[in-house]
Amino acid sequence: MELDFSPVWAGWPELLRGAAITVEITAASLLLGCVLGLLVGIGRLNPARRLVYWACTAYVAVIRGTPLLVQLFILFFGLPQFGILLPAFVCGVLGMGIYSGAYVSEIVRGAIQSVDRGQMEAARSIGLSASQAMQSVILPQAVVRMIPPLGNEFIALIKNSALVSLLTIHDLMHEGQKIISVSYRSLEVYLAIAVVYFVLTGLTSLALRHIEQRLRAGGMVQ
């Protein structure tokens, strides 16, 4: 069997457009995931607020305990049964963002808890409220510690984004399947798709490594 990459070269512009959409949906999902993760992570720090704590804990348990694909299908195919019709792109961003938020919340919670308790006590001793101390003292230190695991989450989202092609979103995987449907060269196309994903994750890893090295050089990461 000989490999024939001519359909890949012919469809390369479509693959690049699909890759751009993959990056867009991943970035939007990560942004949503970071916002949700920050809120949920902070909500899980104080068991005394039982309603908030258990709601956040239930969210994390349910989302982490069910497949992303099922969650995407619930949004895309399930919500219309209640009269809620969302564009495929929105369903993809919501699904991946909500899924990512559960994992980011654990990153946030772990980073905040890794900051020495004395920092909060010192901030309170100079007259800051608990919320002011969290915002001005604890979070800035925690954010720096979140960067490496958040980078891993971003890379995981890039790879998981292949699932949104099942929602008819014209991402990298969807464009590749369109090429396969007319060329029947599945191996060559999937190899090309794998290379593009590898490049995307590789560039992300290099960028994150550069950021982390600069932070270490500046003494911000211990």
Q: What is the DSSP string of the chain?
A: -----HHHHHTHHHHHHHHHHHHHHHHHHHHHHHHHHHHHHHHTS-TTSHHHHHHHHHHHHHHHTS-HHHHHHIIIIIGGGGT----HHHHHHHHHHHHHHHHHHHHHHHHHHHS-HHHHHHHHHTT--HHHHIIIIIHHHHHHHHHHHHHHHHHHHHHHGGGGGGGT--SHHHHHHHHHHHH--HHHHHHHHHHHHHHHHHHHHHHHHHHHHHHHHTT---
Domain ranges of the chain: 6-217
Query: CA-to-CA distance for 60 and 54, rounded, in angstroms?
Result: 10
The answer to whether residue 220 scores a pLDDT higher than 60 is: no
Which amino acid appears at position 44 of this protein?
A: R
Higher-pLDDT residue of 213, 31: 31
Q: For the chain, give the mean pLDDT.
A: 88
pTM across the whole model = 0.85
pLDDT at 58: 95
Query: Residue 121 burial (CB < 10 Å; 0-12/13-18/19+)?
Result: exposed
pLDDT band at 221 (very low <50, low <70, confident <90, very high): very low
The answer to whether residue 36 scores a pLDDT higher than 80 is: yes
pLDDT band at 217 (very low <50, low <70, confident <90, very high): low
pLDDT band at 3 (very low <50, low <70, confident <90, very high): confident
Query: CA-to-CA distance for 25 and 21, rounded, in angstroms?
Result: 6
Write out pLDDT tens, residues 123-166: 778 877 777 777 777 777 777 788 888 888 889 999 999 999 99
Query: Residue 182 burial (CB < 10 Å; 0-12/13-18/19+)?
Result: exposed
Using a pLDDT cut of 70, give the percent of the chain over it.
96
Using a pLDDT cut of 90, give the percent of the chain over it.
59
Q: 6-217 has which CATH code? A: 1.10.3720.10
Question: Cα separations (Å) of 173 from 103, 151, 161?
Answer: 24, 22, 9
